[in-house]
Structure 1
Amino acid sequence: MRDKPHVMAIKYTLLTTLSILMMLPVVVAFLGSVRTNGEFMTQPFGLPTRGLHLDNYILILSDERFWRSGLNSLGITVGVVLLNVILSSMLAFAFSRIRFFSKGLWFNILSVGLLFPLVVAILPIFIQIRNFGLTGNLLGVILPMAAFGIPGSVVILRGFFISVPKELEEAAYIDGANIYQFFLRILLPIVRPAIFAVATIQIIAAWNEFFLPLGVLTGSPETWPLPLGLMQFQGQYGTDWAAVMTYITILMIPAIIFYLFTQRFIVTGLTGGELKG
Structure 2
Amino acid sequence: MNTRIPLGGYALRAVLVCLAVVNLYPLLFTLMTSLKTSEQFFTDIWAFPREFLVDNYVQAFEIGRIGEYFYNSVVIALVTLAMVTVVAAFAAYALARLRVPFGGAIVGLLLIIQILPTESMILPLYMMMSKLKLLGVTYVPVTFAYVGWLLPGTIVILRNFFLSIPSELLESARMDGSGEISTMFRIAFPLTGGAIATCTVLNFCFVWGELLWAQISTLTTEKGLPLTVGLINFQGQYATDWGLMTAAICMILFPLFLLFMFLQKYFVQGLTSGAVKG
Whether the TM-score (by the shorter chain) exceeds 0.5 is yes
Is the contact between residue 118 and residue 145 of structure 1 (CA under 8 Å) also seen in structure 2? no
- In structure 2, distance between residues paired with 1:91 and 1:6: 50
Of the structure 1 ranges 210-219 and 96-105, higher mean CA displacement relative to structure 2 is found in: 96-105
**Structure 2: 5+ residue stretches without partners:** none
- In structure 2, distance between residues paired with 1:210 and 1:31: 25
TM-score of the superposition, structure 2-length normalised? Answer: 0.91
- In structure 1, distance between residues paired with 2:254 and 2:93: 34
- In structure 1, distance between residues paired with 2:157 and 2:39: 48
* 1:218 matched residue in structure 2: 219
* 2:116 matched residue in structure 1: 116
Deviations for 1:228-257, whole angstroms, at most 9, x for unmatched residues?
111111111111122111110111111111
* 2:91 matched residue in structure 1: 91
- After superposition, residues 77-226 of structure 1 pair within 5 angstroms as 77-136=77-136, 137-226=138-227
Identity of aligned residues (%): 28
Is the contact between residue 161 and residue 195 of structure 2 (CA under 8 Å) also seen in structure 1? yes
- In structure 1, distance between residues paired with 2:158 and 2:23: 28
Q: CA deviation at 1:32?
A: 0.7
* 1:227 matched residue in structure 2: 228
Change (3 A) 1:29 1:159: same
- In structure 1, distance between residues paired with 2:134 and 2:120: 20
Across the aligned residues of Structure 1 and Structure 2, the Cα RMSD in angstroms comes to: 2.2
One-letter amino acid of the structure 2 residue matched with residue 79 of structure 1: V
User: Secondary structure of 2:16's partner?
Assistant: helix
- After superposition, residues 1-16 of structure 1 pair within 5 angstroms as 5-16=6-17
The number of residues matched between the two structures is 274
Deviations for 1:134-159, whole angstroms, at most 9, x for unmatched residues?
11331101111111112221222111
- In structure 1, distance between residues paired with 2:116 and 2:13: 32
**Structure 1: 5+ residue stretches without partners:** none
Change (3 A) 1:64 1:175: farther
Q: CA deviation at 1:276?
A: 11
One-letter amino acid of the structure 1 residue matched with residue 48 of structure 2: L
Is the contact between residue 162 and residue 192 of structure 2 (CA under 8 Å) also seen in structure 1? yes
- In structure 2, distance between residues paired with 1:61 and 1:250: 9
Is the contact between residue 35 and residue 53 of structure 1 (CA under 8 Å) also seen in structure 2? yes
* 1:237 matched residue in structure 2: 238
Is the contact between residue 84 and residue 149 of structure 1 (CA under 8 Å) also seen in structure 2? yes
* 1:250 matched residue in structure 2: 251
Change (3 A) 1:17 1:147: farther
* 2:54 matched residue in structure 1: 54
Is the contact between residue 68 and residue 222 of structure 1 (CA under 8 Å) also seen in structure 2? no
* 1:67 matched residue in structure 2: 67
Q: CA deviation at 1:64?
A: 7.7
User: Secondary structure of 1:181's partner?
Assistant: helix
